[in-house]
Structure 1
Amino acid sequence: MLFETVNTLDKTVNTLDKTVNTLDKTVNTLDKTVNTLDKTVNTLDKTEGHTWARQKDTLDKTEGHTGQDRKTQCVRQKDALGKTKRHTE
């Protein structure tokens, strides 16, 4: 009887050891998942900032470029009006 009890307890201990090992592996997997998610969040944060900066640069350049074009067009129109005025006088 005592021998059977000891065998049963040994089997129980082995089962508990396997369960603990499985839980350790699960915790390690979850740690890796959390690390991967942290890296993904950091990458997204950097990308979002970079994208915003690039969009702002593009808008700034476009505004400046459009402004230069408008100024050039205004000067050309004034020149054209002046020449036309002189020709008609």
Structure 2
Amino acid sequence: MTHTDPGLFRVSLALSLCLVIGFAVILALRRFGASGVASGTRAEKRLKVVETARLGTKATLHLIECDGASLLLACDENGIRTLHTVCGGQLEHTQ
């Protein structure tokens, strides 16, 4: 007759319960987002990719809106550059 350690059973049960709770939290965060879980509703997003245009295999243009401003970004193998910024209807040229 073998004797099982009740401490080992309790530790295994506690570990299983923690894994189930952790998995449920990960699913909730993926479903609702971190800000939606905290506030109970989905927060309005401040950053929006309006349009993306591929210029070649290594270059793209991105039109981004952020807090009422529009940014035209160029991405290539050298990095990301801001080409134009529009803040409240005013066009600013950036080199």
Tell me the TM-score normalized by structure 1: 0.36
Higher share of residues assigned strand? 2
The higher radius of gyration belongs to 1
Tell me the TM-score normalized by structure 2: 0.34
Higher share of residues assigned helix? 1
